[in-house]
Chains A and B, each alone.
Chain A
Amino acid sequence: DAGVTQSPTHLIKTRGQQVTLRCSPKSGHDTVSWYQQALGQGPQFIFQYYEEEERQRGNFPDRFSGHQFPNYSSELNVNALLLGDSALYLCASSLAIGELFFGEGSRLTVL
Chain B
Amino acid sequence: GAGVSQSPSNKVTEKGKDVELRCDPISGHTALYWYRQRLGQGLEFLIYFQGNSAPDKSGLPSDRFSAERTGESVSTLTIQRTQQEDSAVYLCASSVIPGPGGYEQFFGPGTRLTVL
Interaction A to B: no
Binding site for B on A (CB under 8 A): none
